[in-house]
A = this chain, B = another copy of it.
Amino acid sequence: MAALTDSVTTLAELKTRVLAFVRERDWEQFHAPKNLSMALAAEAGELMEHFLWATPEQSRAIAADATKRGKIAEELADVVIYALEFANITGLDVSAAIEAKMTANAKKYPVEKSRGRSDKYTEL
């Protein structure tokens, strides 16, 4: 089996793989939106744990550290797996949702007003 890479893999392919894994184990019964949102948040917490006491600058070095990078990739994978499975069971299209959200964000954060600033749109 050829390895998957972001340049050639569609969201639908990943979603299909995740769903097949789940169905093979008869786990759909556990995958209510409530439960998947919890699992997603818990995995996001595990991703954060790599960076708790580091400064933002130090966190760049941590993510580049060969001894930690593999574990960080695993946590990121867990987050996206649960996000895709959430989309599977709710019938949401992730790409369409992202496109719509980015269009909305572009209005909230016009380039001229938000360039180089981290303020929330309500404070721009």
Contact = CB atoms under 8 A, between A and B. Distances in A.
Contact of A14 (B11, B49, B58): B11
Interface residues of A, number: 86
Nearest to A56: B32
Instruction: Tell me how many chains of this kind the complex includes.
Output: 4
Q: Describe A's contact surface by its main secondary structure.
A: helix
Interface of A: 3-12, 14-15, 17-18, 21, 24-27, 29-30, 32-35, 37-42, 44-60, 62-64, 69, 72-74, 76-81, 83, 86-87, 89-90, 92-102, 104-106, 109, 111, 114-116, 118
9 contacts: A5-B93, A10-B11, A14-B98, A27-B118, A37-B51, A60-B89, A64-B90, A74-B104, A78-B101
